[in-house]
Amino acid sequence: MKLNRIIAITTVALSLLFTSCDYDNYEAPSNVFSGKLVTPDGQPFCYDSSQTLFKFYQSGYGKVDTGTNMRVDNNGTFRQLLFTADYSLTLVNHPLPFEIEEFPPLEVGYDSIPYHVTGNISQTFTVRPYYFISNMKAELEGKRINVTFDVTKNTATKTPAPDIIRAYVYLGTSTLVNGATKCQRLIQIKERPSPQTQTMTIGIPLAYYRDKTYYVNNYRDYAFIKVGLLLDGISDYVIISDLLKIENLPYSVE
């Protein structure tokens, strides 16, 4: 009796297992949606990869779709696997420090682009930042790293550029530097930038870079640097610069 009972229980368990496998074994998404963000002159657009920018929405199938985030890397490239289906692509419902030509703003949020996905798709989006960051330099002066850069207001945007309220400098031990990098310093901006180029300088103590709060056992004699601009009325999202490397940093901060 006990043996028959064990056999019966095992048979039921195996039946449930195989039934579950039948439901779970659906095809994974295989279509690649990829591309890049570029400036109007065709140059790669530097993006703050710590923040979400794009969302895919898929309609139908009796479900409520809350959206699928598509990651954008620091160099403005993106890649997302999708099922064969109809999608709508839009931007996050958040004020941004730049304009993207293909996604004009609506009263609430941004317009969307429909895609009938049946294979790989390559797409380029044109970005107009409200400000340009250029001519970055970094020098070690005493116990501080001073980062100097030029800021120019973009007069070719459809909406006037908001004022800059903060400027950040970020220090990283690798090239993966973005707005979430904890080793940072900021300054409050008191003057309203104009279309004429203005030069800004932010100093960050070398002791920050050596502080174990940010990087444990950091004896690197180099650092990777980016700067970011936070605009009035736009929280979380910054205009971020290209990457700069400073070398020959002393180990001691005494």
pLDDT per position as a tens digit, 79-124: 999 999 999 999 999 999 999 999 998 888 899 999 999 999 999 9
For residue 74, the model assigns a pLDDT of 96
CATH superfamily membership of 31-129: Carboxypeptidase-like, regulatory domain (2.60.40.1120)
pLDDT per position as a tens digit, 206-254: 999 999 999 999 999 999 999 999 999 999 999 999 999 999 999 887 6
* 3-class SS letters over the chain: CHHHHHHHHHHHHHHHHHHHHHHHCCCCCCEEEEEEEECCCCCECCCCCCCCCEEEEECCCCCCCCCEEECECCCCEEEEEECCEEEEEEECCCCCCEEECCCCECCCCECCEEEEECCCEEEEEEEEECEEEEEEEEEEECCEEEEEEEEEECCCCCCCCCCEEEEEEEEECCCCCCCCCCCEEEEECCCCCCCCCEEEEEEEEHHHHHCCCCCCCCCCCEEEEEEEEEECCCCCCCEECCCEEEECCCCCCC
> 59 falls in which pLDDT band (50, 70, 90)?
confident
Residue 12 has pLDDT above 50, yes or no: no
Domain ranges of the chain: 31-129, 131-247
Q: Hey, what CATH topology would domain 131-247 get?
A: Immunoglobulin-like (2.60.40)
Here the tokens at position 70 are 């598509």
CA distance 177 to 11: 55
Residue 20 or 44, more confident = 44
Residue 3 or 41, more confident = 41
Fold agreement between 31-129 and 131-247? yes
Total-model pTM: 0.85
For residue 62, the model assigns a pLDDT of 54
Residue 2 or 26, more confident = 26
For residue 22, the model assigns a pLDDT of 47
Q: Which of 238, 220, 218 is nearest to 228 (CA)?
A: 238
